[in-house]
Amino acid sequence: MIKEKIKKLAAQYADEFIEVRHHLHAHPELSYKEFETSKFIQQKLAELGIEYKVLATTGVVGLIKGKAPGNRTIALRADMDALPITEENKVEYKSQNAGIMHACGHDVHTTCLLGAAKILNELKDEWEGTVKLIFQPGEEKNPGGASIMIKEGVLEDPKPQAIFALHVHPGLEVGKLSFRSGMVMASADEIYITIKGKGGHAASPHLTTD
């Protein structure tokens, strides 16, 4: 069964992708500045012989074609960007970029997608359809990288019938997954306001607009 083959390969490549995750964690980059991360992803896909293209400047989209690639397409998506946070962890793979940290797990997400890419590519003669690999920049900023990639055609040629993604959750036991229909994780929007006023002296506040 292909399921057992996937599990076997995942165990076989575990150490390799732990190193990939450590590399990504040590070299975090902010939203829309994921230049080295993008190059790293492109290099890994090229080593596997997976065709890819760049969208939204630093985003990467790969294609793995199985048997009968025109039958259906699914997409797997991961975000790539880090946050403007100083890392205080005492680990060998601690962030080497001052004031920037993978504090939201996007290094793990990218690693998972690269690992899935390697395994699916190795087994591509055993499944039908096409898998689109979407490495999304700028998840932490507005406008989000997803909207830019969509405008640049990430959901076309071929158009996926479904998209799957994941998010790490330290509250879960190791080896456990959770899922539900509808909204799952919280999100935040940025609101920008412009205040127009008139300065003045503190002794004459009635002459100001503050």
**What is the chain's pLDDT, residue by residue, as a tens digit (210 residues)?**
899 999 999 999 999 999 999 999 999 999 999 999 999 999 999 999 999 999 999 999 999 999 998 889 999 999 999 999 999 999 999 999 999 999 999 999 999 999 999 999 999 999 999 999 999 999 999 889 999 999 999 999 999 999 999 999 988 998 899 988 888 877 777 788 998 888 888 888 888 887
CA separation for the pair 68, 85 (Å, rounded): 46
Candidate CATH numbers 3.40.50.720, 3.40.50.1980, 3.40.630.10, 2.60.15.10; the one for domain 2-207? 3.40.630.10
CA separation for the pair 20, 179 (Å, rounded): 26
Question: What angle, 0 to 180 degrees and rounded to 10, lies between the N-to-C axes of helices 35-48 and 106-122?
Answer: 10
Nearest in space to 164 (alpha carbons), one of 134, 127, 126: 134
CA separation for the pair 74, 163 (Å, rounded): 6
* DSSP conformation class of 209: B
- Domain map (residue ranges) of the chain: 2-207
Sequence-ordered alpha helix ranges (H) in 34-133:
35-48, 106-122
